[in-house]
Amino acid sequence: MQSVNSIQLHDEAILVDLHAHPSMKMALFRRNLARRYRVAPPGFWPFSMRTNFEKLATGGVDVLLSAIMAPEKPLLEDIPLLKLMRFTSRQAWRDLVEPTYFVASQTILHEMEQQVEDYNLHKPQARRPVRVARSIDELDALVAQGPRGPIAIVHTLEGAHALEGAVCQRQASNGRSVSDNTARDEILSNLDSFFAQGVASITLAHFYPNRVVYPCFPFPETVLSLARWRRVVSNFDLSQGLTSIGEEVVERMLDLGMLIDLTHCTPVARARVYEIVESQNKRGAVIASHVGVRALKPSPYCLEDWELRWMADHGGVVGVIFMNYWLGAHDRLGLDLIVETIDHIVDMAGIDSVAIGTDFDGFTDPPDDVVDA
C-alpha cells in the first residue's frame, strides 16, 4: 500500500518523463491519443498504449518529452516481418517508410500537434488540457499553472537519422556519390528547422549507424529470434563514435541550447561528446534520457560510474528506463531494479542528476509489476 506521504509527494511534485513515445503508436497504428485505453496486459504487447492523454493525466505527468522516431529502413531487412506493414498499415508505410527520414519525422511532429489541438477542442472538460511547449518560456508558463494546469508536451527526436533528407537519401542509394559537404549542409539546415519548430532534444543514436554517430547493439535478446541476427551483429562496431558531421551537429546543438541525448550512443561517442561540452564550458547540455547503469547491468548501453559523476559535475541528468533488460535481471518483475538503479545514480551523482525516462510505448517491455500503466 502506498504511504500517504508518497501520494502527497507525487501530487505536489512536478513529474517529468524524459522519454516516451505517444506519437509512435499514433503514427504506426493510427492511435487516437484522446481515447481511453485499457491497462496493458503483462509481458510484451506491441499494441499497448500507456501514454495517451487520459493516462498521462491520471498518472500525474506534468511534462512529457515526446520522442519522434522515424522507422529506420534497415529494420525492414533485419526483421523481414516488418515488411507486412506495406499491406497491413498502408498509410503508415506511405507516411513513414517511403519518404526521407526528415519528411517522415515532420509528418509525425505535425500529426502529434494536430492530436493535441483536437483533444483540447473536442474534450474541453477533460481532467487536464494538453499543450505543446516550444520554448523554455512556454514550458515555464505551463508548469507554473500547477497540477491542475495543462500537461506540457515537448518535442524530441530519437535518432539523428531524422536530420537526413533527400540529399542524404540520394547519396545512400548512389553509393555516396553526392559530396559529404552537401549532406552536411542538409543535416545542419534540417537541425535548424527542427529547433525552430520547438524540438528541444535529439537522441543522437538509435538502432543503426547514421551520419552523426554510431550506436550500441540495439536489440534485446527477445527480439533476436525475429531478426537475421548474424547480419545485425555484423553491422555494429563499438570502437566507432561521432562522425565529423556529428561533431558539427553537437557543436550546433550547444549553440542553439538543445539538449544532447546520449542514449544508444557507443561509449566512444559519449566520451567525445563529453570532451566537446567541456571544451565549450557548457552546463546542463547533456542528458541520457532512458538508460541503466553499468554497475548493475554490464552493457555498453548503460553508463559507467565515471559518466554518472561527469553528469553531476556538468549539470547533466540521467533518466532511468522502465525496462528490465537494460537494468539488470531478465525476469518480468522489475520495480526493484528501477529503485536500485535510481539509488545507485543518487549514490554516484546526487539526487539532482537522476530522473525517469520510461520509454513507454517505444515497443519496450516494462516490468509486469507496473500494474496500472
Annotate 220-286 with DSSP letters as a single string. -HHHHTTS-HHHHHHT--TT--B-HHHHHHHHHHHHHT-EEE-TTB-HHHHHHHHHHHHHTT--S-E
Residue 12 has pLDDT above 90, yes or no: no
Give how far Cα 316 sits from Cα of 13, 77, 292, 300, 346, Å. Answer: 20, 36, 15, 19, 13
Q: Which of 6-15, 67-76, 98-107, 158-167 has the lowest mean pLDDT?
A: 6-15
* Residue 191 lies inside a defined structural domain of this protein: yes
pTM (predicted TM-score): 0.94
pLDDT of residue 82: 87
pLDDT of residue 297: 94
Say if residues 361 and 48 touch (Cβ distance below 8 Å). yes
Q: What is the DSSP letter of 213?
A: B
Name the more confident of 32 and 7: 32
C-alpha–C-alpha distance, residues 229 and 207, integer Å: 13
What percentage of the chain exceeds 70 in pLDDT? 95
Please write the tens of the pLDDT for every residue from 240-290: 999 999 999 999 999 999 999 999 999 999 999 999 999 999 999 999 999
Mean pLDDT along residues 231-245: 89
Report phi then psi at 239, rounded to 5.
Answer: -80, -10
Give, for 188, the enclosing helix (H) or strand (E). helix 180-196
**Angle separating helix axes 335-349 and 305-313, nearest 10 degrees:** 60
What percentage of the chain exceeds 90 in pLDDT? 72
Residue 355 C-alpha from the chain's centroid: 14
pLDDT of residue 299: 94
Name the more confident of 331 and 29: 29
- What is the span of the domain harbouring residue 200? 159-282
Q: How many domains does the chain have?
A: 1
C-alpha–C-alpha distance, residues 368 and 10, integer Å: 21
Please write the tens of the pLDDT for every residue from 119-136: 999 888 788 999 999 999
Q: 17 falls in which pLDDT band (50, 70, 90)?
A: very high
Q: Which three cell numbers stand for residue 108?
A: 509525425
Q: What's the per-residue H, E or C state across 124-152? A: CCCCCCEEECCCHHHHHHHHCCCCCCCEE
Residue 138 C-alpha from the chain's centroid: 21
Q: What is the DSSP letter of 40?
A: P
Q: Which of 18-27, 51-60, 130-139, 233-242 has the lowest mean pLDDT?
A: 233-242
* Residue 209 lies inside a defined structural domain of this protein: yes
Q: 286: closest CA among 255, 318, 264, 309?
A: 318
pLDDT of residue 126: 82
* Residue 117 lies inside a defined structural domain of this protein: no
* Residue 371 lies inside a defined structural domain of this protein: no
Going through 138-208 in order, the beta strands assigned E by DSSP cover 151-158, 201-203
Please tell me which of 8-17, 118-127, 281-290, 333-342 the model is most confident about, judged by mean pLDDT: 281-290
Say if residues 99 and 93 touch (Cβ distance below 8 Å). no
Say if residues 337 and 328 touch (Cβ distance below 8 Å). yes
Ramachandran region, residue 305 (left: φ > 0; alpha: ψ -120 to 50; beta: rest): alpha
Name the more confident of 293 and 8: 293
Say if residues 62 and 16 touch (Cβ distance below 8 Å). yes
C-alpha–C-alpha distance, residues 218 and 155, integer Å: 23
Q: 50: closest CA among 308, 327, 358?
A: 358
How high does pLDDT run on average in the chain?
92
Name the more confident of 365 and 200: 200
Q: Which of 51-60, 61-70, 75-84, 199-208 has the lowest mean pLDDT?
A: 75-84
C-alpha–C-alpha distance, residues 157 and 199, integer Å: 7
C-alpha–C-alpha distance, residues 195 and 288, integer Å: 19
* Residue 254 lies inside a defined structural domain of this protein: yes
Please write the tens of the pLDDT for every residue from 19-40: 999 999 999 999 999 998 887 7
Say if residues 157 and 202 touch (Cβ distance below 8 Å). yes
Q: 1 falls in which pLDDT band (50, 70, 90)?
A: very low
C-alpha–C-alpha distance, residues 178 and 172, integer Å: 9
Q: Which three cell numbers stand for residue 84?
A: 507486412
